[in-house]
Every structure is written in C-alpha cells, then in structure tokens.
Amino acid sequence: MTVSIEHPIETPPRAPSPVHGFGTLAVHAGAPHDPTTGAVIEPISLSTTFAQTAVGKPVGQYEYSRSSNPNRDNFEKAVAALENAKYAVAFSSGSAATATILQSLAQGSHVISVSDVYGGTHRYFTRVAKAHGVTVTFTPQIEVDIAEHIRDNTKLIWIESPSNPTLRLVDIRAVTSAAHARGVMVVVDNTFLSPYIQNPLDHGADIVVHSVTKYINGHSDVVMGIAAFNSEELRERLTFLQNACGAVPSAFDSWLAHRGVKTLHLRAKQSNANATAVADALENSCHVISVNYPGSDTHPHRHIALRQHRDGMGGGMLSFRIKGGRAAAERFCQLTKIFTLAESLGGIESLVELPSAMTHAGIPRDQREAVGVFDDLVRVSCGIEEPEDLVYDIEQALEKAVRETAHESNGVSNGVNGHAA
C-alpha cells in the first residue's frame, strides 16, 4: 500500500554558502589556533574526563569524552563545512554510523535501499535491522519504481551513488523529490566520491554518510565514520543514540582524520586522474569484457555525473570484468605489482580486490549477479601514484592473467555469469 501525499517533508535549509573554496575550507575549517601556545595544529586531547569548578559546572564545554571531545568536535566541524552541512556527527566506523541511523527508526519501520550496496550495509539491513523490527526492500532501479515501494511505514530511503562495486549512479534530486512528497527521509552514502566531488545535501538529501576510513582520512590508518545533515532534530536524536551506545571514535583517530581531510582535495584530484587513465586503458584492452567508471563517456549514467559531480569527475574507483572468469580475476589480483590485493579503498595507495569473494562474499550469489557482481568482476581503487605506472601495472597483469588461465582452462570462456560455462 502506498502512502497518500498527506505529510510531505521539506528539505532542511542548507548551511550558508561557504565564503572560501574547498581547499581553503579543508585546511582551515574546525582548525583554530591553540589559544595558549599559538600552535597552528591542534593538540591531541587524550583526557577522558574534564575538571569541574562545582557540581555540574565543568571548566569548559567538556565533561566526558564519550559525550564529546575537542578533537572530535573540530573534525566534525571540518566535515560539516565540506559537505555544506550545519552539523556532523563522527562515529567509531562507517558501519556504526549506518547502525545508529537505522536504530533511530521506530520498530516496524520500513526502509528502501538500492540493491548494489556495500556488503556490510547489506549485512546490517538483512541480518541486524530485521532483528529489531526494521524491514528493508532492495530495488535496482530506485528512481523508476520508488513510488511502488513506499508504504505507510516507510521512513527512510538509502542510496549509494556511485554504488559499490558496480559504480551505478542515482539521480539524488529525483529520489529526494519523490521521497519527500511522501514524508520519507533520504540518506546518501557518499564514501566512493568524498565531499570534494559530490555534496548530496545540495541535491536534497537529508543525511550524507561516509566511511571516514576511505577518502576523508585517506591514509589507511583510521577506522571511522561520519554523518552530516542540516536538521537540529536529527542532531539531537543521533547524538543521544551515539552517547547511549558508545559508538564514538577516539581522540587520536579524530586528530588523524582531521589531518587527512586537509589534503582531500589534492588526493581526490590525483585519484580521479589516475582512475580516468586506468579506465581508458581497460576500455581499450582486448582482455576486458566491460568497464564501470562514471567518468567515462561510455558509462550509462554519465549524464548524472555531469550534473551531480564536481566538473563531471568520475572519482578514483572503478570496476571491470576480465575475460577468463574467476580464475583470471584472482590471478590478475595476484599479478599486480603496484596495486595491492586488499579490501578497503580511498587511500593514497592503489588497491584491487574481488568483490564476489571478499567485500560482497556475504551476499547470496543470485542477488550479487542480479546487480552485476559476477565472479569475474574486479574492483579497483586508484591511489595517488603516477598514472603511467598504474596503467603499465594493470596492462601487464591483464596480459599474464588471461594468458595463464586460458592455457590452464584450454580456452573455457567466462560464461554468462562470470564463471566457467
């Protein structure tokens, strides 16, 4: 049963347009000089508790670090500024941010999600949220059939754009317009692009979430998450749940992530340039079946990238299907010399992985393949190395992987589902 248009919601007013450019904000937002020493980089505040002059009267604004901490506060201010948001709440991981948002829904609530979603998010939606009475409907074409899926109890729509790992794009404005007309909030996971390339709140989303572990921190040494938004009511609800559940990042991790975000614009530009070069090489390779990269003119949603992304950038992530099936895909990941075979993404170093056996292994095969996650799909995260070195590494690994596996399998093809026919 669909909801009648009786309780539409309005997109909360966005934060004032920034006076300075992105790079200036990245360096200076949430970064006051220390008033005592004049230090231009904030000190790490490791104290778990803070003195009070009288009962219930702390010296400053802090009482206990689970509730708030100077490093966390400053990092949140920085990300809020970069996402054109009024507020941001940092969590101990991206998964903790997801869980807290879902926990904010009442029992019996219904959520609509894109089908090709991060494996950890899919796991939470299908195995954890259900346990506390929240059900999730997955759809591969959310802009097309959103109205058909909204029910009386639908409270939230979850979007990844680009999606993980097939790099499909969603028209955020189209979804938010339809959702808000029915009184439903929209969350966009912006991890794959970072605030530098896309700002979902500007397109009507209510909440934007990130795995800070990825592009925002950018150095593969922090596990964190963050949610940014413009609603005071959301801020109160999420900070209450966070404090109650304890899903908070450490002061040191907050300091590291704040350090990392200061160079986000520089890293994102280089990763984008590298991914563009790698995608071009893959599209021209006889060893590749197909390439998923939003920065390419061959991408089916290129028109959305041109509208939603800064300068039409495609970002630093891509995926492709290799000839030779899973055997060739696995061998390719073993043969790269600069790209490291590892999960995660968005760091300064380039990575490759096999989603069907790694990040998305927990999703049933038929569901994976229905959205294009075949056994021969390789996901690539381009770091900030030199593009010609990355292209050479990709090409030499492709050549060897396809040749070796073709010899071993006597030429058996991929088959329709990315495994041997």
Instruction: State the amino acid at position 298 in one-letter form.
Output: T
Under 8 Å CB-to-CB from 195, ≥6 apart: which residues?
Answer: 22, 79, 82, 83, 210, 216, 264
What number of CA atoms fall less than 13 Å from residue 414's CA on the CB side? 20
Which of 37, 45, 15, 40 is closest to 28 using CA atoms? 40
Interacting residues of 327 by C-beta distance below 8 A, sequence separation 6+: 405, 408, 409, 420
Residues with a catalytic annotation lie at 66, 118, 189, 214
CB 300 within 8 A of CB 275: no
* Nearest Cα to Cα of residue 112 among 143, 73, 72, 91: 143
DSSP 312: G
Residues contacting 395, CB < 8 A, separation 6+: 281, 285
3-class secondary-structure state, position 357: coil
- Distance (Å) of CA 339 to CA 66, 142, 221, 284, 352: 38, 34, 18, 20, 6
Give helix then strand counts, H and E, for the chain: 14, 14
Query: Cβ of 17: how many Cβ atoms within 10 Å?
Result: 7
3 state SS of 34: coil
- Judge contact between 168 and 192, C-beta under 8 A: no
- Residue 357 vs residues 137, 376, 378, 409: alpha-carbon distances, Å: 24, 10, 10, 20
DSSP state for residue 16 in the 8-state scheme:
P
Local structure of residue 56 (DSSP, 8 states): T
- Report d(CA 242, CA 67) in Å as an integer: 8
What whole-number distance in Å separates Cα of residue 206 and Cα of residue 112? 15
Nearest to 361 by CA among 375, 340, 347: 375
